[in-house]
Amino acid sequence: MTVSKETVEEANRKAVDRMMDSEPVWVDLAPASKKMGIRGKTLLHAGPPLRWEDASGPMKGAIIGAAIYEGWAETEKQAARLAEEGEIELDCDHHHNAAGPMAGVISPSMPVYELEDKKFGNRTYSNMNEGIGKVLRYGAYSKEVLDRLRWMSGTVAPVLQATAKGMLKAGGGLALKPMIAQALTMGDDCHNRYVATTSLFAKQIAPFLVRTGFDPKTLSEVSRFIDGNNFTMLNMGMAAGKAMTLAGHDVKYSTIVTVMSRNGTDAGIWVSGLGNRWFAAKAPVPKGLWFPGFTEADANPDLGDSSITETAGFGGFAMAAAPAIVSWVGGSVQGALDVTEKMYEITQAQHRHFLIPFLDFRGTPVGIDLRKVLKTGVTPMINTGIAHRKAGIGQVGAGTVSFPMQVFKDAFEAYVDEYDA
């Protein structure tokens, strides 16, 4: 064995310290083509690489919707044909420092939040949140869905972009780490419960939003949209998680997991010391609570980049901070506490900034260590939304899911190869 235990430990400490030291700040909101250089008929999607023919219903629905939204096709059929014929290039959000919830589809003209890591300089991205139910990220693409996206792009995005610029000018921009830390003391897990974060956001942006120069009616519509959607901050929270994990990525010898993500077909991970190689296995189907009229039979296998929150030490890992979440994802309050307790077994550290009041202000479990997952047999627990398995329908519930053990086994084998360990 050429790599000592001390070397790995040191690498892991470095990776997780960098995760915790990362300081993502919201700096802009503008089209992906402009901020991320996405050109032509390219669509980014959640999870590991995926071909159209392997895509699940909701992922296909989101791709169809995005193609119509971009004007590449007029009908579902035309959009599907473009995809089938390879006219639409698919690529992973994570290959572009982005993270999108559920299907996570980002098309060139969609506005994306841009976050800058003030500590390490990285820039990360996410799209805007549409709300729950019949929405693109859950595979719906009706006129109503696309009209909402157009209104968000044409009306909400310019107001929020101007707000971000105002905040940046006045005081360096909206800092995400303190906001997430605060929200974790306010009953959010910051994956599937974003009530506090969205409220804090509304409170903090108000002084700047009112000075953007937009007319009162527009400002009112935008404020009403934020007030009406408690998931408003999910996407920016994910971009923050991406910044944190990216800061911990590419540390030689490190066995810390820096991406966990699902595309509705496969679930895959990255490991800090193994670069951008995906280790993927079949995505599991979540368990949870169902919206009226739906059952487990309607559920698609898990999808979304949103498990970047758990990778960064919040989300499901901070369930103990968010007992009220069980009314949304199911389970019991004790179960929520148990999840957090369990995750300490597979993580490197207790977060220095993300504290859980109910555990006597103990830091959240952060930095999934590949070795500990294999040793304990405990896999990371994710809070998640549940999409209908057919395209065009949307969200049918919310719940929890465990990441498949196979990806950790495969990654460990690769690690042994790579480092002759």
Binding site for a copy of itself (CB under 8 A): 182, 185-188, 195-196, 198-200, 202-204, 206-211, 213, 216-217, 219-221, 223-224, 226-227, 323-324, 326-327, 332-333, 357-358, 360-361
Min separation Cβ 287 and a copy of itself, Å:
20
Q: Of 87, 40, 86, 88, whose CA–CA distance to 63 is shortest?
A: 88
Please identify, using beta-carbon distances, which residue of 55 and 320 lies nearer to a copy of itself. Answer: 320
Minimum Å gap between C-beta 354 and a copy of itself is 13
Q: Which is nearer to a copy of itself, 78 or 223 (CB)?
A: 223
Nearest partner of 237 among 136, 314, 341, judged by Cα: 314
Q: Could you tell me the smallest distance in angstroms from the CB atom of residue 191 to a copy of itself?
A: 16
Quote the least distance from Cβ 400 to a copy of itself, whole Å.
Answer: 17
CB closer to a copy of itself, 132 vs 206: 206
DSSP state of 225: H
Please report where in the chains the tokens 């993300």 appear, as a residue.
354
Decide whether 119 or 165 has the Cβ nearer to a copy of itself.
165
> Who contacts 279 (Cβ-Cβ below 8 Å, separation ≥6)?
268, 269, 270, 271, 407, 408, 410, 411, 414
- In 10 A of CB 220, how many CB atoms? 11
Quickly tell me which residue has 């059929």 as its tokens: 77
For residue 39, the minimal CB distance to a copy of itself (Å) is: 37
Q: Name which of 149 and 226 has its Cβ closer to a copy of itself.
A: 226
Give the HSE-up count for residue 363: Cα atoms under 13 Å, Cβ half-sphere.
13
Q: Dump the DSSP string for 83-107.
A: HHTT-SEEEEGGGGTB--STT--B-
E strand or H helix at 175, and its extent? strand 174-175
Q: How far apart are CA 278 and CA 347, in angstroms?
A: 20
φ/ψ (deg, to 5) at 66? -65, -35
CB of 165 to a copy of itself, least distance (A): 14
CB nearer a copy of itself, residue 143 or residue 217? 217
Distance CA 226, CA 129 (A): 10
- Residue 337, Cβ density class (10 Å: 0-12 exposed, 13-18 middle, ≥19 buried): middle
Choose between 201 and 403: whose C-beta lies nearer to a copy of itself. 201
What minimum distance in Å lies between the beta carbon of 328 and a copy of itself?
11
The answer to whether 232 and 129 have CB atoms below 8 angstroms apart is yes
Q: How far apart are CA 57 and CA 72, in angstroms?
A: 20
Query: How far is Cα 304 from Cα 286, in angstroms, rounded to an integer?
Result: 12
Q: Quote the least distance from Cβ 35 to a copy of itself, whole Å.
A: 26
Q: Which is nearer to a copy of itself, 229 or 402 (CB)?
A: 229
Of 71 and 216, nearer to a copy of itself (C-beta) is 216
Nearest distance, CB of residue 149 and a copy of itself, angstroms? 21
Looking at the Cβ atoms of 184 and 239, the one nearer to a copy of itself is 184
CA–CA distances in Å: residue 34 to residues 109, 243, 303, 420: 8, 19, 26, 42
Q: Which residues contact 197 (CB under 8 A, 6 or more apart)?
A: 179, 180, 183, 188, 190, 233, 237
User: Cα separation of 373 and 347, whole Å?
Assistant: 8
Least distance CB 355 / a copy of itself (angstroms): 9
